[in-house]
Amino acid sequence: MELEARYACGAWEALSYNMEIIVCLDDYGGMLFNSRRQSRDRLLIEDIISNLGDKKLYIYEYSQILFEAYEGKYEITDDFFAINDDNCICFIENIDVKPYIDQISAVTVYNWNRVYPRELVFDINLEKEGFSLMSSREFKGYSHDKIRKEVYER
């Protein structure tokens, strides 16, 4: 993998790619339909917040409504891939991350266990990209009987 470099403090340094992302998908990998999120669940959002630890959560303004109750736990950005912070997690629901897969070190997938209409699809085969399933669990959501959470890492 070719890394970008930047000039800082009189020397060139490699930019590290250690981004962690979170996505919410239907059974066919769907993320958005008609430019809207397919679904939402407040217990899923609580799970995200409770598992941040000391990491900062970055979101697009589009996702802010989901996290309004957690002011101070997130930061709004307009470009996830310009963030130079190895101690962050990015909640992604309205962009295609495939062009940036080499910058991603971990993916948390929340699966709705349903099929919704979709136009934006997360069509990355994580295992083929070198990710391994580290953990998997199911929990009852607020509006979904079953939500599966899978954590993949390189």
Per-residue pLDDT tens digits of the chain, which is 154 residues long: 334 444 444 444 444 558 899 999 999 999 999 888 888 999 999 999 999 999 999 999 999 999 999 999 999 999 888 887 878 899 999 999 998 898 899 999 999 989 988 999 998 999 999 999 999 999 999 999 999 999 999 9
CA distance 126 to 131: 5
pTM for the model stands at: 0.87
Q: What is the CATH number of domain 17-153?
A: 3.40.430.10
Predicted confidence at residue 122, as pLDDT, reads: 94
Predicted confidence at residue 10, as pLDDT, reads: 45
Quick one: tokens of 101? 């897969």
| Alpha helices per DSSP H over the chain | 42-50, 64-67
